[in-house]
Chains A and B, each alone.
Chain A
Amino acid sequence: QQQVKQSPQSLIVQKGGISIINCAYENTAFDYFPWYQQFPGKGPALLIAIRPDVSEKKEGRFTISFNKSAKQFSLHIMDSQPGDSATYFCAAGAGGSNYKLTFGKGTLLTVNP
């Protein structure tokens, strides 16, 4: 059972455009929703994260929008740059004594110059 569904699988955007990646989850116990960025040959790195008590979080050009009732969250990259080209993973986690994250399958973003 795939608990976090991510779309699209790949995305091509022109420099300066907006990149949008969407995720949907099923488990209502999830209370932490991070996005990870991964460059080729490197491990994923935390980009931005949100908890369900807010509907939006912005850090620089990166924004997470969260819709609790729809069980969906999305990553928006404003003014996309070629250096943003990477694979992006959404994830969801539930609290407790043994914290674990469930990841989406990833989106390969290519920003053309």
Chain B
Amino acid sequence: DAGITQSPRHKVTETGTPVTLRCHQTENHRYMYWYRQDPGHGLRLIHYSYGVKDTDKGEVSDGYSVSRSKTEDFLLTLESATSSQTSVYFCAISYQLNTGELFFGEGSRLTVL
């Protein structure tokens, strides 16, 4: 366990509603990431953060925003959820600078009806 907690773990919502997923780490690590996992697509990077208030887009960032006001928390927001955003969302942290060693949370399953 890398000290990563995702919440909620499961959520069902309706199209057009806002949704926020939270990733909390207890390890005080600088790098945090949000990925989504879909059958046939593997893991795709949505957004990542390299420090408080420092974030950048990944390959599938449209429809998502993120915020990081504290080192330990990285929030992923869907401003207006769509059915195409039904997915399992994983938060990850990186322990070391300039390495690809990621430690993942247990995921948040989001269903948009």
By a beta-carbon cutoff of 8 Å, the part of chain A in contact with chain B is 6, 32, 34, 41-46, 49, 89, 91, 93, 95-106
Contact = CB atoms under 8 A, between A and B. Distances in A.
Interface stretch (B12-20, B61-69, B71-79, B97-105): B97-105
A89 B50 contact: no
22 contacts: A6-B42, A34-B100, A41-B106, A42-B106, A43-B90, A43-B106, A44-B102, A45-B103, A45-B104, A49-B100, A91-B100, A98-B50, A99-B98, A100-B58, A101-B100, A102-B45, A103-B35, A103-B42, A103-B44, A105-B41, A105-B42, A106-B43
B100 A43 contact: no
Contacts of A103: 35, 42-44
Dominant SS among interface residues on chain B: strand
A104 B42 contact: yes
Given A98-B50, A104-B42, A106-B42, A43 B101 contact: no
Nearest to B105: A43
Contacts of A105: 40-42
